[in-house]
Structure 1
């Protein structure tokens, strides 16, 4: 059955960013706020993470992921948000119209504003170009945690873990809770990605950590039986294991935006192009959370969702400047991306800073210029997957015709 409903704001995704934004919108007086979630239960990825730390800054207490997700859902429902699970958005149309597949058939939603909070996902084996056999037992962290906490079974007993981002440490915690004993953690770079001392955690758990080491091949007929590793000197070695856990290397879950010609997607961040208000190239659409860039913490996404909700509420009240003029932001290698990718010349508060990442370690001076003069500088060591923040408080940023961000070359 085809039906059509109207609302003030439609939120696509029920993770921390989506639920916090929906709650803030209702608290700001926005009447009808609908959240659409394709899963049977709202709450996002934290539902799968049965370990702390969640909720300290948001709710003033230490929570596990499922408890945190439940708290976010409860807050949204208490505020009067209409949360609809098993509702999958299949198309985004100009001006805020959505097509959804639901248990009752197709649904058309026409919203004054749409907020995309679809999050991010880990890169699968197919995109990592890992050779070898194709046995059962090669999964990512989300699949592991879903198996352990939602389906209550162990996919393996002694896996190899690939990657040292924060999500890898979450995977180690999940394995320990389930009685799974990883045989090793491998990282292709010369140093772990997560910050010290967090990177000591695998070793404290008795799990060897191999740096400068790549997963070269996977072996096994029906299930994983072992892997081949390529060490720092190119030497190959074989380790017996019954699974491979691929962690990290996140990419934004922006497939809906990519299929919508009216929405621009940034190649560097893999998420929608936005201004400092989270507003997309189609001004009826906004984005917040990890769909903007992979990847930030649940707490960061929760706070960003609330900030963007304030911008949407101002927009609905005709109190947000139009995006008739924009200041494009250009980044130079080895910078990976900048979010937002453009600014609107206005002093109306939005996101407080530019967020950047580098693709390789850099030691030097990062500079923001207007093409003629430097506007901001910072010197230091900049590492991959570490947050780089450039404050937007300088009025000169908003009077430029364009911003260029890169590292100063050595004299």
Structure 2
């Protein structure tokens, strides 16, 4: 497969955000989408369950059908999708270096969109001790084995985490005839919103809150999991562990580039048009923060694609941007990190998260004056949004805990 040496728009990542932006841009530009996987569609193609597609297509789809629909619509719009291509560096210009079965090459573009998504934290990143037997994997790895390869890697696993993806793991297990023996959550409350919290009970899966996995034991395969909770230490007999959630942006490409990375999210710093610190690069989707739904990422891709179309036509404002500052120990990150003036923008809301369960008053100030204020009661990994201020100026988001 040969790749073009130059294009108008280069999109890195063929998930919901990248394909949505590409579809928006294709009628007015040459658009090339690159993805390192052998098939396009992103994470949803691994998720053989509902619900996908209501926001985008007004119909309920399973993940693979949703991914296929995204790809078909992009290609019908004229987008060239190339899979099995690894991007190895981002260069000024913009220009990117890639490797594929055709060898090493560089591609010049007028604008580049980064939409490389996220990955789950590993067992090592969570500092879980014990032996290193087989049968410990992320939700994504489980979905790949079950839906793409038709395999059943275990029969009685423990699930670590209660984010939305953790409940997706339960659905994947049910599809493969796997019966989880426990669900473990370090926080005193379930992370995902109601009614997700009742799902383990409906499936007969014991839910252990305020509990951590202290070690995983077994020789060739997982044999047992040692947990520590309110009643002390105990052992659960199991043959696998699903380490779910705690997502991190897939942002390794930023390491060797000139683009500024946000230390809080791990993704790139952007303004309210989705522009990175080098304005020839844009970003959208879960690369920006861990983690949002496929539908949210798709909508973000559409909005940033429209901003890129304006930039291509020379109609995107080039004025000053202003920093968004977080004040409050429990505030974790905000996207976008910089805002523009009152012009039409891709991000019409500021999105933020907290590091722990917290209740209090969230106040937004612009240029020192209060713009909006409301009470919040939330947990980590739950979406918090506030309207983007309609006037220019430095923004402060202040959380006063109760």
- Separation in 2 of the partners of 1:62 and 1:2? 36
Q: In the alignment, which residue of structure 1 is the partner of 2:357?
A: 361
- Greater mean alpha carbon deviation, residues 175-184 or residues 262-271: 262-271
Q: In the alignment, which residue of structure 2 is the partner of 1:77?
A: 75
- Separation in 1 of the partners of 2:330 and 2:88? 35
Q: In the alignment, which residue of structure 1 is the partner of 2:6?
A: 6
- Separation in 1 of the partners of 2:267 and 2:225? 33
Deviations 1:277-310 (A, max 9, x none): 0000011100000000110000000111000000
User: Does residue 404 in structure 1 map to residue 396 in structure 2?
Assistant: yes
Instruction: From 381, 385, 409, give the equivalent of 2:381.
Output: 385
Instruction: From 177, 198, 223, give the equivalent of 2:196.
Output: 198
Instruction: From 234, 255, 265, give the equivalent of 1:269.
Output: 265
- Separation in 2 of the partners of 1:9 and 1:98? 12
Deviations 1:208-248 (A, max 9, x none): 11101100100001111001000124x11011100000000
- 2:341–2:390 Cα contact (<8 Å) kept: no
Deviation at 1:373?
2.4
Q: In the alignment, which residue of structure 1 is the partner of 2:326?
A: 331
- 1:2–1:105 Cα contact (<8 Å) kept: no
Identify unmatched segments of 5+ residues in structure 2. Answer: none
Q: In the alignment, which residue of structure 2 is the partner of 1:167?
A: 165
Deviation at 1:349?
2.9
Deviation at 1:409?
6.1
Equivalent positions of 1:69-218 (< 5 A) are 69-218=67-216
Give the match's secondary structure for 1:328.
strand
Deviation at 1:151?
1.5
- Separation in 2 of the partners of 1:95 and 1:405? 35
Deviation at 1:270?
1.3
- 1:365–1:379 Cα contact (<8 Å) kept: yes
Instruction: From 344, 347, 356, give the equivalent of 2:343.
Output: 347
Deviation at 1:131?
0.6
Equivalent positions of 1:13-32 (< 5 A) are 13-27=13-27, 29-30=28-29, 32=30
Deviation at 1:3?
7.9
Q: In the alignment, which residue of structure 1 is the partner of 2:230?
A: 232
Deviation at 1:382?
2.5
- 1:193–1:384 Cα contact (<8 Å) kept: yes
**4+ aligned runs moved over 2 Å, structure 1:** 1-4, 370-373
- Separation in 2 of the partners of 1:66 and 1:238? 37
- Separation in 2 of the partners of 1:270 and 1:144? 25
Deviation at 1:143?
0.2
- Separation in 2 of the partners of 1:114 and 1:3? 16
Give the match's secondary structure for 1:408.
strand
Q: In the alignment, which residue of structure 2 is the partner of 1:242?
A: 239
- 1:193–1:385 Cα contact (<8 Å) kept: yes
TM-score normalised by structure 2 residue count:
0.97
- Separation in 1 of the partners of 2:361 and 2:284? 29
Q: In the alignment, which residue of structure 2 is the partner of 1:55?
A: 53
Identify unmatched segments of 5+ residues in structure 1. Answer: none
- 1:95–1:282 Cα contact (<8 Å) kept: no
- 1:160–1:245 Cα contact (<8 Å) kept: yes
- Separation in 2 of the partners of 1:386 and 1:305? 21
Please give the root-mean-square deviation of Cα atoms over the aligned residues, in Å. Answer: 1.5
- Separation in 1 of the partners of 2:80 and 2:366? 44
User: Does residue 222 in structure 1 map to residue 217 in structure 2?
Assistant: no
Deviation at 1:141?
0.3
- Separation in 2 of the partners of 1:45 and 1:241? 27
Instruction: From 376, 379, 383, give the equivalent of 2:372.
Output: 376
- 2:300–2:346 Cα contact (<8 Å) kept: no
Give the match's secondary structure for 2:368.
coil
Give the match's secondary structure for 2:124.
helix
Give the match's secondary structure for 2:199.
helix
- 1:137–1:242 Cα contact (<8 Å) kept: yes
